[in-house]
Amino acid sequence: AHPELCSIHSHLTIKTTPTQKFVFTVKTHPSVVPGTIAFSLPQRKWAGLSLNQDVEVSVYNFDPSRQYVGTMTLEIDFLQKKSVDSNPYDSDKMAIEFIQFFTAQAFSVGQQFVLSCFDKLFALVIKDIEAMDPSILRGEQSSSKKQKIEIGLLHGNSQVIFEKAESSSLNLIGKAKTRGSRQSIINPDWNFERMGIGGLDKEFSAIFRRAFASRVFPPDIVEQMGCKHVKGILLFGPPGCGKTLMARQIGKMLNAREPKVVNGPEILNKYVGESEANIRKLFADAEEEQKRLGANSGLHIIIFDEIDAICKQRGSMAGSTGVHDTVVNQLLSKIDGVDQLNNILVIGMTNRPDLIDDALLRPGRLEVKMEIGLPDETGRVQILNIHTAKMKQSKMLAKDVDIKELAAETKNYSGAELEGLVRAAQSTAMNRHIKASTKVEVDTVEAQMLEVSRSDFLASLNNDIKPAFGTNQEDYCSYIMNGIVKWSNAVSDILEDGELLVQQTKNSERTPLVTVLLEGPAHSGKTALAAKIAEDSQFPFIKICSPDKMIGYTETAKCQAIKKIFEDAYKSQLSCVVVDDIERLLDFVPIGPRFSNLVLQALLVLLKKPPPRGRKLLILGTTSRKDVLQEMGMLDSFSTTIHIPNISRGEHLMEALELLGGFQEEERAVIAKKVKGQAVWLGIKKLQMLIEMSLQVRRRKTFSP
C-alpha cells in the first residue's frame, strides 16, 4: 500500500462486492502509487480480485479480548508440482519460521498464501482459527471451552498446526503436525501428572505468573506497558525434589526451541579463555536470531544444572587461577549486559544457593528464586500415582495397596526417594518368583501372576528406603528402649508439659520456634523423656544432636555438624531437634575450667534463630549442669525450663520397683520396710542398672554347684 495509508492504519477491510469483505494487514512500499493497494497472486486468487479493480477500503480494529489467535490450523502442500519430493520436513521449524515472519498479521479462515521455508515454496490454506482464552490475559483460570473465530491476529505465542492436504505427498515430521501432542505456552491447565511432576502445582503456578505471564500477552500490549520479560529463574532445594525434572518440563511446555541443557562442570576447560567461549557459544543462536528478527525472535531456553559449580562467589576461591571469576563475569554480561538479549530464559538449578554470586541473583538476571522443597501429603499422593500408573494399567498393583496410606507413612520423603520406594517394592515382589536352586531362574508361570502388594511396600519402607531429611526412628528409639517408668505424678506432668509445647509449636503462628531445656541430676532419664516427647509429637523431622556422633571432631567440624542438623530441620514444615547432653557438646570440664567457646556461640545463635516463614521448630535440650549453662548465658536462650527429679522418697522407689518388675512380692515388702521414712536419692537409670545387677547375683547363687 501507499506509505500515507499505512502510516495511519495497519489493518484494513477491503470490500470487493456489496456482500464480500476481506481483512488484510498492509505494509508500506515506495513503488506503490498513491490511492492504490498492491496484492500478491495468492491474495488476489483468495479474494477474487482482478487487476485495476476499484475496492472500498475501511479501517479494521482488532478486539484484544476476543481476536488474538490461540491456535491456527493450516493445510499445507507444495506450491509447484515440479518441486515435489519425499524428504521429511520438520513442522516444528516451519511453525517457528511462520510465527517469526507473520507476527502481528491478520488472518481469516479460508485465506490462501505462500510460505518460503527450507528453500521451498509451500501453499497454505487456513482451515480453522481458535481465539486465545481471554481469561488467561486477565490472569484468571483458563476455561475449557474453545472459541472459534473467522478473523484473528497472530502474535508470538500463538500455536500453529500443519495438516497435510488430502492428495499431497508431503512428508511432515514433528509435533506441530498434530493437534493433540503439542501444548501451547498459554495453557495453564497443564496436566502435571502427564508431565511426570507431582506436588509442585503451587511452585509451577508461581513460576508461570512471574516468568511467562508477560510472554503470554500479545507483544503490542507488552510494548505499551514498557514491560521487560523475566530472563532467569533459580530453582533451589534439597536433592531429589524435582528441580531438574521441572526445568526439563518447562522447556517442553513452551512453544520454544528444544532447551539447551548444560551441566555446570562441563563449561570449565583447562585452556585459557575456553570456559568463557563455551558460555558465549550457548548464547550465539539467540544473539544471531535477535539481530535478524528483533522482537519476532523465538524464545531460547538455556538450563544450567548444578549452576553453583560455575557461579561461585567471585574472589571466594583463595589461590585459584580466577577462571571461575571470569566465567561468572561472562555469564553476567550475556544475560543482562550492555548488549542485552530479550529472547532468552536462563534456568539455573542448585541445592547450594548460598554459594552463588550475588550479582547473578539480582532482578534482570536470575530474578525468580523458587524453592522446590519436600512434597506435602497431597504432593506425595501425586508422585506415587505417577510411579505406580503403569502397574495399575497392567493390573500388577494389588488391590490392598492404598496410595493415601503410603503418602501418610512417607513423611519427609523427596520425589526421588518415593520413586526409589516403588522400585524397592517392585524388586521385593519380583524376588518372590525367583527360584534359587543350583542356578537362578524365574518361575515363568507364577511370574504372569505377579502383583506388587501392600506388604511389599511396607517391607521396603521399613528396610530399604529411608528419607535423607526424615526421622530416623532407630536413632531415638535406642534412648527409650526400656520405656518410660512413671514412678510418680512428676513424670506424667513432664510428659503433659511436653505435649503442650508440641501443640504450641504446631498451632501457634506467633511462636514458630519453641525451645525447652530439660535439666536435672545425672541418670534421671532426661534424654529418654526428651526422646519420648519427640516421638509422641509425630513431627515429620526428628533429629537428635548427640555428642556421641561427634567424638574426635575439631571445634569447627562440630559447629558444622550442629549447623547441618538445624539447616536440615528448616527444610521440613514441622521439625523437632533434641540437643542432648549440652555440657558434653561444649567440651565442659570442671577442672581447668575449659569449654569450647566456638560451639557455645554456635548454639547460642541457633537456639534463637527462628525457622524460615511457614516452618515450625521445637528444640529440646538436656543438661545435668544447669549452673554451668547459667554462667555461660545459655539458660536465657531457652523459652522454658523443665526440672527432671531423681527418686527421693521411699514410696516412689517402691512404685518404680513394682513397675520395673524383677523382684517377688515378699522381696519388695522387705525393701519397703527398710526404706520407709528414709531419704532416697537415685536416678531411674541407675535404679534399672542396680536391679539388673541384683538379678545377675541371684541367678549366680541359683545355678552355683
Spell out where 298-406 has E strands. Answer: 300-305, 344-350, 368-371
Catalytic site residue 527? yes
**Cα of 169 vs its chain's centroid, Å:** 46
Catalytic position from the list 515, 581, 616, 626? 581
Instruction: Of 424, 415, 363, 429, give the one whose Cα is nearest residue 384.
Output: 415
The Cβ of residue 592 has, within 10 Å, a number of other Cβ atoms equal to 7
Facing residues of 347 across strands? 233, 303
Catalytic site residue 685? yes
d(CA 302, CA 504): 46
d(CA 519, CA 581): 10
d(CA 532, CA 143): 52
Contact 22, 108 (CB under 8 A): yes
Residue position matching grid coordinates 537428635: 544
Buried b (16+ CB within 10 A) or exposed e, 214-247: bbbbbbbebeeeeeeebbbbbbbbbebbbbbbbb
Furthest-apart CA pair in the chain: how many Å? 132
**Using CB atoms within 10 A of its CB, is residue 526 exposed (0-12), middle (13-18) or buried (19+)?**
buried
Catalytic position from the list 93, 120, 369, 685? 685
**63 to each of 51, 68, 148, 218, how far by Cα in Å?**
32, 8, 14, 12
Instruction: Of 407, 422, 405, 530, give the one whose Cα is nearest residue 475.
Output: 530
**Cα of 155 vs its chain's centroid, Å:** 31
Task: Return the ∠ at Cα 356 (arms to 350 and 359), rounded to 5°.
Answer: 130
Query: What sign results for the dihedral spanned by CA atoms 238, 242, 245, 246?
Result: negative
Catalytic site residue 543? no
Please give the DSSP secondary-structure letter assigned to residue 639: S
Listed in sequence order, the DSSP H helices in 242-376 are 243-253, 264-267, 274-293, 323-336
Contact 25, 55 (CB under 8 A): no
Helix (H) or strand (E) holding 616: strand 616-623
Catalytic site residue 581? yes
Catalytic site residue 526? yes
Helix (H) or strand (E) holding 403: helix 403-409
Catalytic site residue 92? no
d(CA 92, CA 153): 20
Catalytic position from the list 527, 543, 558, 622? 527
Catalytic position from the list 177, 231, 526, 543? 526
Contact 157, 136 (CB under 8 A): no
Catalytic position from the list 580, 616, 622, 626? 580
Catalytic position from the list 608, 609, 627, 640? 608
Annotated catalytic sites, by residue? 526-527, 580-581, 608, 685
